[in-house]
Structure 1
Amino acid sequence: MSIVELREYKLKPRMREQWLSWMQADILPYQISKGMRVLQTYIYTDENDAEWFVWLREFDNEAHRQQVYANTYDEWWRREIRPRVFEMIEQESIRVRLLSPVHVVS
């Protein structure tokens, strides 16, 4: 059964356009090249007018998820990309939720 990962990041003030541009130009193509399946990306504004970036990623199962993580988040990522990420998003705001499909009978 596939796993869908819902990730939410609170953007720092005035970082929306820079974040979205970087995600589109660099982050998403890099992660996809490493085997990440990105289903969709979203932006929403919460009740305090903070902007959040939300995205959905899909994996075949937990073993696949761990394999893709190992391929993606290497030393280069930790050294070069991770510091830049936290220039644009609030590190403590990161939320990752694993979603499992539910069959609902109507």
Structure 2
Amino acid sequence: MFYEIRHYVTKPGRREEWLRFMERTVIPFQSSKGMVITASFVDEEHPDGYVWIRRFEDEAHRVEAYAAVYESDRWVAELGPAVADLLFLDKSVVTRVVPTPRSLLR
């Protein structure tokens, strides 16, 4: 099992709009396609910062879930463009992490 910790920067003043979009649209959509979203956060120290975490059972699960989400007609036509409108995509940082033996996230 591993996680992706995804750090995003919203366009100035649009974090609340992004948060509503994530919680009402993106997270339910991705969950319906097999993604496991374990956490969603706003950054207390950065007014445009947002962080979320996704869990994958293994690399095959990640590949399957990515294809189901990012190759879907809805993502390509609707959700992807909306994401690009709200975020600075070039400032996104994705870190892949594996829990240690004593982690509560195992």
**Is the 8 Å Cα contact of residues 3 and 59 (structure 1) preserved in structure 2?**
yes
Note if contact 1:39-1:56 (Cα within 8 Å) is conserved in structure 2: yes
Q: Which has the larger radius of gyration?
A: 1
Give the gaps of 5 or more residues in structure 2.
none
Distance in 1 of aligned mates of 2:98 and 2:58: 10
How many residues were matched structurally?
101
Give unmatched runs, 5+ long, in structure 1.
Answer: none
Deviations 1:50-92 (A, max 9, x none): 4211001001011110011011112421222111111111011
1:85 paired residue number: 83
Task: Output the CA distance in 2 between the equivalents of 1:33 and 1:43.
Answer: 23
Aligned residue for 1:94? 92
CA contact (8 A) 1:7 1:95 kept: yes
Task: Supply the distance in 2 between the matched residues of 1:62 and 1:100 (Cα, whole angstroms).
Answer: 12
- Could you tell me whether the CA contact under 8 Å between 2:41 and 2:50 is conserved in 1? yes
Change in Cα spacing, 1:32 to 1:75, as seen in structure 2 (3 Å) is closer
- Answer yes or no: is 1:62 the counterpart of 2:59: yes
CA-atom RMSD in angstroms: 1.4
The amino acid across from 1:53 in the alignment is Y
The equivalent of 1:43 in structure 2 is 42
Q: TM-score, normalised by structure 2?
A: 0.87
TM-score by length of 1: 0.87
